[in-house]
Chain A
């Protein structure tokens, strides 16, 4: 036996979760020379599992809805576009991983337990927040400002972008700060026309999606080969995914030990010092309960899972969970409001659809927020704003009318379509919360979450406005057959869960400080989306990673000063 039992040591840091933030924490701390244990609830992943080039007919049911026994065990996960017959076992088994919601308040919690977590299937859109977001409360009086500003975050956005590789275009728009971009992906003709029309008619900015997909060789990874199905893995590692970047780097140091199938249950405390001394986890294979010891505990398990661990860690004076002296732990749950959209045809473009084997761009366009960005754009009916993701191009027209040779020809001729879908800010409200369900447990005996969230009037007003302005932009571009949607989707559908352990300077009104350290326990950190104060309307993963890097810098400095 070559291996030392990983549970006999005391690590400098125990990182819980190996996804976007956990990978960064493990990499940064291990590269700084700290001994790191990286706990992952799921199994390891191998590139041999990637299926991005496997044609659909080779699957038994060709991923058609309704077919396949795996769906019966994943009624929640199949609501995610990325959970398919190709890759469903990357997603959790809902029967083994239950949670409860109040009657009439559904919440869809889409999650993955595997090394890399949701970075294997994420949408890859990567946008910076701005001071419109960090200082939103000062702007409109709702909620709290973040304890950090864009100036504090900018250097860490730089570092993350330079490592990850974000392709995109600088636009000089204050609502969406520019970053360090690899060359942008190209727009289609319809998108170029849309961008020019909307800029002229409304003064709004449409840019190519800023995405964590390489357009050039970068940090030892190859440029995208445009097969277009990133959610099934990438043999050239061209999109950012933690197992093959940050986690790999952490393991290379020899300072990081990865423990898979280690389902974190609670943090163990030393009552004499009021410091964490380790993490108790369940071995997912044997169902044995084990404890790993560490000088610090860094939660990167995903916002709701990290807070679940804190809520389940009741001991001594921490009767309501760790970090909950303010009573705010679990409160302020957010997820971007979706459901607003507009779509139509652009009949002035006659291009035929791209052939199946032709390059496919797994990216779209992004319309930068234009509501409540200044006094001139303040809205009477709602606060905050929304951005759009979308695209335009020729598609095979499978819905063509008729039958016979004419139908086949119509399918092949295709239609030139344009669509935009809004992502609106979700306000932090204390009545949107998670707590521990008093009776429900998961398959490993760990108390499960009760999730209570609704989108409110402000989100509905944002969605209504997004649908209307989306349609007006399409109309200006000459779109026909415009259809709009303004039904707010069920919370969770954005897969941007944020909040529940928000950061702040005042321990009475926040759970962590600006470096993600619990106010109540000096060696526990919540370095994922849990610490978000507000949601902005931008896809949050880039900001989560930058927050982690900033917090780890501070933690390393404290280790060097022997404060830990």
Chain B
């Protein structure tokens, strides 16, 4: 084998190819972290207006509050949702905004103010009304599903998705800053120990 063949074979063995080595590969740069954009002090919404943003902050923190662990506000749920909803189809954007508007309208109807300005007690009262499915009817009228539930579920789904995919939300699920690892141990009981499981 001459020098040229040796070099060529060595390159081929390393995966170097005859045409267009690694052309177009999409590689995430080390340290690239989209969350850093959300943490910027000069962050401003790209999709929501100021009122919608305030309503979303308060609603998300009411659904997932700070307890012994941080809540949705600290997880910047509103900032991520502002970004992700801005990239959704128009129908999804409209549904999202309609649901936010419903909460402000319901707060105004009940307490003459927008949702973000309700007292904690008023917020809890309103959320208790919409957080479970129920219907409403009056004498002589056909029973109808209470519309607030659909708006609540729609926004809760977005808020929970944003929260539990944030750094704070991952920690809530046991993220220690590193990827999952180890050996999966599975069931460590003796055979037939599950016979009473039914």
Contact = CB atoms under 8 A, between A and B. Distances in A.
Q: Please indicate whether A and B come from the same complex rather than being unrelated chains.
A: yes
A343 to B, nearest CB: 18
Contact of B19 (A4, A54, A262): A262
15 contacts: A2-B8, A46-B15, A55-B175, A62-B161, A89-B24, A189-B197, A225-B181, A254-B9, A258-B18, A259-B19, A260-B23, A357-B174, A357-B175, A357-B176, A411-B172
Those 3 A-B pairs whose CB atoms lie nearest each other, nearest first: A355-B174, A186-B186, A254-B9
A16 interface: no
B120 to A, nearest CB: 11
B180 A226 contact: yes
Given A226-B182, A360-B184, 20 more contacts: A6-B19, A46-B15, A46-B27, A58-B28, A58-B35, A60-B83, A187-B186, A189-B194, A192-B194, A226-B183, A259-B19, A260-B18, A260-B21, A260-B23, A356-B180, A357-B177, A359-B182, A398-B161, A398-B164, A407-B64
A196 B192 contact: yes
Contacts of A4: 8
Most chain A C-beta atoms within 10 Å of own C-beta, residue among B15, B160, B162 = B15
Contacts of A225: 181-182
Interface string B111-150: 0000000000000100100011000000000000000000
Contacts of A258: 12, 17-18
Nearest to A355: B174
Contact of B15 (A57, A185, A192, A248): A248
Interface in A435-452: none
A264 to B, nearest CB: 14
Interface of A: 2-4, 6, 43-46, 48-49, 51-62, 64, 66-68, 89, 115, 185-189, 191-193, 196-197, 225-228, 243, 248, 251-252, 254, 256-262, 283, 285, 346, 348-349, 353-361, 396, 398, 401-405, 407-408, 411-412, 477-478
Contacts of B5: 254
Interface of B: 4-5, 7-9, 12-13, 15, 17-28, 32-35, 37, 62-65, 67, 69, 80, 83-84, 87-89, 92, 124, 127, 131-132, 156, 160-162, 164-167, 170, 172-187, 189, 192, 194-195, 197-198
Given A67-B87, A186-B187, A6 B15 contact: no
Contacts of A251: 12-13, 15
B37 to A, nearest CB: 8
A74 to B, nearest CB: 14
Given A58-B32, A62-B84, A257-B18, A196 B180 contact: no
Nearest to B34: A60
A407 B20 CA distance: 52
Contacts of A478: 197-198
Contacts of A3: 8, 18
Most chain A C-beta atoms within 10 Å of own C-beta, residue among B9, B92, B131, B174 = B174
A405 B67 contact: yes
A2 B4 contact: yes
A187 B189 CA distance: 11
Contacts of A226: 180-184
A49 B26 contact: yes
A187 B127 CA distance: 41
A412 B33 CA distance: 26
Most chain A C-beta atoms within 10 Å of own C-beta, residue among B88, B173, B177, B189 = B173
B36 to A, nearest CB: 9
Most chain B C-beta atoms within 10 Å of own C-beta, residue among A55, A228, A285 = A55
Contacts of B172: 408, 411-412
Contact of A358 (B92, B177, B182): B182
A477 B198 contact: yes
Nearest to A353: B173
A193 B172 CA distance: 29
Contacts of A260: 17-21, 23
Contacts of B21: 44, 260
A59 to B, nearest CB: 6
Contacts of B7: 2
Contacts of B192: 196
A294 to B, nearest CB: 15
Nearest to B63: A403
Contacts of A408: 64-65, 67, 69, 172
Nearest to B21: A44
Nearest to A215: B183
B105 to A, nearest CB: 19
A404 B63 contact: yes
A358 B180 contact: yes
Contacts of A252: 12-13
